[in-house]
Structures are given as C-alpha cells and as structure tokens.
Amino acid sequence: MLLASPGLGAAMAYVTSRLVHDLSAEVAREREIGSYHLVERLGTGAMGEVWRADHSMLARAAAVKVIRTQALTVDSIEDARNVVNLFELEAQATAALTSPHTIDVYDFGYTKEGLFYYVMELLDGFDLQTLVERDGRQPPERVAHILRQAAESLHEAHEMNYVHRDLKPANIFMCRYGGDVDFAKLLDFGLVLDRNASLEEEDPGVPEPDAGVKLIGTPSVMAPEMLDPHAKIDGRADIYGLGCVGYWLLTGERVFPAETRIAMLRAHARATPQAPSERAGVQIPAELEQLVLECLRKRPGERPQSALEVSERITGLGLANDWDRSRRNRWWDNNATGPLQDRLDR
C-alpha cells in the first residue's frame, strides 16, 4: 500500500536521501553517535561501516557499526526498509548470542537522524584471511584449535535457529582475550537467516548454478544448496563454510581456485575437492583431513549434522591440545608484535 502512493513514495525517498546526507555530514563533522565518539574508520562492508569509538564516560574503547550511505541509495523505499531490517536482525541476533567465541554486542539504537547503529567489543588481532595471506598455511594442531572454537560459536547460533550464511576466513577473528591469545571470535552476522521466522526442510538437493540468479553469500565458501534461491537452508550450510575455512587454513588456498564467479559456483555445486594434503604437499593427520572433507560434501545429509558434532570430533582427535598456551603465547610473541603485525598494520 505504501508504494502504491506516488506522492508518499516520493516523500519517503526524499527523507531517505536526507538521512543519507545527514549521516555523512554528521560522521564527517561531529563524529558523535549516542554516547560514542567515532575516532577512526576500521572498515566497510556491503551494509555497514565500522568505526573505533570512545565512550564519553567509560575508558573502554568499542567498535560502532552504522549503515553505509551507499546501502540506503536504493531503487525503492521497500529496498531501503529491507536494508534497515537486515541490519536490525544482525544486531539483535548477535546480541542474543552469549558464546565467548561470538562477537559481543554492547548496545544498539538510532542516531538522531534516525539511522540504525550498534556497538560491539573492539578486538585486538587479525582475521583468518589476513593470517594465511601473510603467514601461510597453518599447522594442523592450530587449525583444530581454531575450528573447534568456531564450531562452539555456531552451535549456540544454530540452537537458537540462526544460520550465519557467510562463514568465511575474513569473518573469523583471532584475538587477545582476557589473559589468553589465539582466541577465536565469529564476526559479521550481516546475512544471518532467522529460521524461527521460516523453518526449513530437511535435505535440499544440489542445483545447477545459474549466472543470472542473485545469490546471498560469498562464492568461495558457498554451500551447494545456497545456489538455489528456493532451497531451504539450515545450519549445515555453515558447516560447509567451516570446511572451506579449514581447507584454507590447512592449504593456504581456496577449495576451488576458479577464475570467475560462475566457475566458482559450479565447482562448489559439482566438483570434488582435492584432499588438503595433496593440495598442500604435506602430511596432515588423516582424521582431521577426513573431517574437513566431510564438511565439504555436496549434500547436507552427508555432512556432520551439527556444529556440536564437529566440535566433539575435533576434541576427540586431541590435536588442539598440542596447540597449548605456551605455543600460543610463543607464536604471538614472535609474530603478532613483530613482522606479521607490521604487515597487518599496513
């Protein structure tokens, strides 16, 4: 009904345009959102900008995410509303999760111009994309340590019927946390699916990708069932993504090194991944390699059926115990404050 009125639609478009302009001016000039002063832009994504921020009264720094101006520059008021709804769902879903391996949300609300923002913990470390690009493939015991932590975060999310849908190396962050290091945090629930609103069928099939279909997610980690816009998606799509992350850590390469987006999607739909040990040319514990390959199976019913199962199987391997506190501290002392950190800061 709203869009059926040209006058009202034009008015809403004008309001949205003004909000976009006002947010840009506010950030550039005042850099004040709620009780937070924006200090430095840390990064941008499809929907939001993330800023390092100081609270007006508290000593602890935080990260503030606000809707990007470009995200609201859309063709219709309905599209703009959908962007805001997705942003709100991301904040609400993340705030509802309590696993220490999920980014912690402190607060959320609206700017005085009416745009949504939320405040989260500021992490000290680097994501897995950066780690492998600059430090190379990782030892199997560290890979087990990282995957187990990520699986624990996913277990809680899936128990609450949330599916991340974009589990990639850039969305898992290794940080200092309390007195520990190499502590994994799952980030960016910007594509989260709330299955409480739409419960899914049990075992979607494997479609043939269509170059003309608009897909949600990252092609290099996309589960085959996500290539079908009509498929019903559940947590096993995240388990496939976790397999892609494990493959990246073990080999230093993506599962399928395709040159184009459609070739990448077709490979995920149909191709059999090469064993990580063959790709990397090194010996990898057979049980860990097998688990990663099981996560990468095309049909959801042939993968591990829960993140808890993945976590328990990794625990049973005993590998993660070999990446103990002393090894973690030694790696961080030698790398995270030295050459690797210098490269991370560039």
What pLDDT, on a 0 to 100 scale, did the predictor assign at position 2?
30
Which residues, in sequence order, are bridge partners of residue 69?
none
Nearest to 171 by CA among 217, 232, 231, 229: 217
Q: Which residue has the higher pLDDT, 2 or 71?
A: 71
Reported confidence tier of residue 207, pLDDT bands at 50, 70, 90 = very low
More confident residue, 13 or 164: 164
Average pLDDT, the chain: 81
Can you give the pLDDT at residue 200?
45
258 has pLDDT over 90: no
pLDDT at 5: 36
Per-residue pLDDT, averaged over 262-278, amounts to 93
Which residue, 102, 141, 113, is CA-closest to 18? 113
Residue 3's pLDDT band, with cuts at 50, 70 and 90, is very low
Other beta carbons within 10 Å of 12 = 18
Helix (H) / strand (E) containing 323:
none
pLDDT at position 208, please? 47
Q: Name the pTM for this structure.
A: 0.82
What residue segments make up the domains of the chain, in order of their start? 6-121, 125-344
CATH number for the segment(s) 125-344: 1.10.510.10
CATH of range 6-121; options 3.90.25.10, 3.30.70.100, 3.30.200.20, 3.60.10.10: 3.30.200.20
Question: Highest mean pLDDT range out of 14-23, 108-117, 238-247?
Answer: 238-247
**286-295 helix and 140-159 helix, angle to the nearest 10 degrees:** 40
pLDDT at 339: 44
Residue 171, pLDDT above cutoff 70: yes
Under 8 Å between Cβ of 115 and 80: no
Residue numbers annotated as active site: 166
Tell me if 6-121 shares its fold with 125-344: no
The region of weakest confidence among 108-112, 234-238, 252-256, 307-311 is 108-112
> Mean pLDDT over residues 149-175, rounded?
95
Residues of the chain with pLDDT > 70, as a percent, come to: 77
pLDDT of residue 163: 93
Report CA 229 to chain centroid distance, whole Å: 20
103, 123 Cβ separation under 8 angstroms? yes
pLDDT (tens digit, 9 = 90+) per residue, 296-346? 999 999 999 999 999 999 999 999 999 999 999 999 999 875 444 444 444
Q: Looking at residues 105-124, what average pLDDT do you find?
A: 84
**What is the greatest pairwise CA distance in the chain?**
67
pLDDT for res 15? 40
